[in-house]
Amino acid sequence: MAPTILVVDDDPNVQRLLSYTLRQEGFEVSVVADGAEAVRAWQVERPSLILLDIMLPKLDGYAVAQRIREDEAGGNHTPIIMLTAEGDVEQRVRGLRAGADDYLMKPFHPAELLARIRGLLSRFAPSEEAVARPPSGHVIAFYGAKGGVGATTLAVNTAIALHRNVGRSVVLVDGNLQFGDHRVFLDLGLDRKSVVDIVSAPTIDAELVRQVLVRHDSGIDLLLAPPSPETAELVTPEALPPILDILRASYDYVVVDVDKRLDEVNLRIFDAAEVIYVVLTADLSSLKNVRIMLETLANLGYDSARVQLVLNRSTAFTGINVKNAEGALRRTLDHQVLNDYRAAISALNSGAPVLDTKAESPLGKAIVAFAQAIDADAMGTASPRSRARR
């Protein structure tokens, strides 16, 4: 088991940055936003290490550290790194006296944070937990710049291509919780199990997730969205990351088809994803939405290298060519999928994916090439040109 890091901070941006950094290094992450909840989380979860902000609601970081040290009473020692925006020596001394093992000032470099975490784990954690191993699978998210750009079509068919043409094990997750379309795209009934069956259970484990997954004829597994909009509320933002972690441990690829909203649910999915594929078309409305999304993700601290732009229907005549689109976005398009609207709409209306009915069509071949590029990038064998465009 990988070491678990408990992040205690009331700033959502800091939570996301720390969660992403730590998960990329193979750590399990648990997040709470106030001091009282931090003490409860420590008592229940017994994390390997705690990253503890000083300024917290209910109980400040000093009180949290002191309470934990009192409760340990000579038992197993949980390392604590205190985080603060202040460089006052008195604060550092007070933190160390309260029981902190180390101290970091914000902002800090991720490399320094990871070095201090590993140093403390090597001192206090059991030897088998000293080095975290990254999970084997890749989580990738597909996000449509607006409705109708073909994000779901690409997500579904790319998942199939990764399995059938690249030879990877794949699970496809319908992240549009209120109005998921995978049942329509794949001709499935409403009686199939969904993510609601997971989050409604008393405990979530790999066996439960396995029982809820639906096997498609193409060979990929599916985690379906709730069958009705009102049940979508049962899937909280906190529920999805553990499910994605379980899936990542069992599959080469976890492909998540994401809703259009930039809400907390989607941001948690983006936190877990290695790459976010933003699907767009060459029209003003789509380009405007992509610009806003890129700016929003940048403001939230997401690395621009994790966001790749996919121009769908690239050969369709819209009056805006690729060069103009790149100029409007102020960055290069990473991937292009040609226009074959008839094949796409025919597949949608029949409930059969393009790669099942028209695999040899220009669109089918373009999607296979796209999937191969994704896998090459994930395996670290992307061509020099494709790397230079990111």
Q: How confident is the model at residue 73 (pLDDT cuts 50, 70, 90)?
A: confident
- Two tokens at 241? 């990351």
- Give the type of residue at 386: S
Crossing angle of helices 362-378/151-164, nearest 10°?
Answer: 70
Same domain, 180 and 96: no
Number of domains in the chain: 2
Are 240 and 269 in contact by the 8 Å Cβ rule? The answer is: yes
253 strand-pairing partners? 138, 170
Task: Please give the pLDDT value at position 284.
Answer: 92
Task: Please give the pLDDT value at position 343.
Answer: 66
Q: How confident is the model at residue 381 (pLDDT cuts 50, 70, 90)?
A: very low
Q: In this predicted model, what pLDDT tens digit does every residue of 133-190 receive, in sequence order? A: 444 689 999 999 888 898 999 999 999 999 988 889 999 999 999 988 898 888 887 7
Task: Please give the pLDDT value at position 120.
Answer: 85
Distance, CA of 235 to CA of 229 (rounded, Å): 11
State which of 76, 107, 129 marks the end of a domain. 129
Own/partner pairs, 203-210, CB within 8 angstroms, 24+ separation: 204/239, 204/242, 204/243, 204/246, 205/246, 206/246, 206/249, 206/250, 209/243, 209/246, 209/247, 210/250
Task: Please give the pLDDT value at position 80.
Answer: 95
Same domain, 378 and 233: yes
Task: Please give the pLDDT value at position 89.
Answer: 74
Same domain, 237 and 370: yes
Same domain, 172 and 74: no
Same domain, 213 and 343: yes
State which of 129, 155, 174 marks the end of a domain. 129
Q: For the domain that residue 227 is a member of, what is the CATH number?
A: 3.40.50.300
Same domain, 187 and 318: yes
Same domain, 42 and 148: no
Same domain, 144 and 123: no
Task: Please give the pLDDT value at position 390.
Answer: 28
Distance, CA of 103 to CA of 131 (rounded, Å): 21
Query: What range does the domain containing 146 cover?
Result: 138-388
Same domain, 118 and 200: no
Please give the average per-residue pLDDT across 207-219, as a whole number. 91
State which of 88, 111, 129 marks the end of a domain. 129
Task: Please give the pLDDT value at position 133.
Answer: 43
Distance, CA of 62 to CA of 90 (rounded, Å): 12
Same domain, 14 and 57: yes
Please say if the pLDDT value at position 129 is more than 70: no
Among the listed ranges 56-70, 266-280, 369-383, which one has the minimum average pLDDT value?
369-383
Mean pLDDT, the chain, whole residue set: 86
Please give the average per-residue pLDDT across 312-318, as a whole number. 79
Q: For the domain that residue 13 is a member of, what is the CATH number?
A: 3.40.50.2300
Are 12 and 34 in contact by the 8 Å Cβ rule? The answer is: no
Same domain, 23 and 117: yes
Task: Please give the pLDDT value at position 205.
Answer: 85
Q: In this predicted model, what pLDDT tens digit does every residue of 363-376 receive, in sequence order? A: 889 999 999 999 99
Same domain, 178 and 215: yes
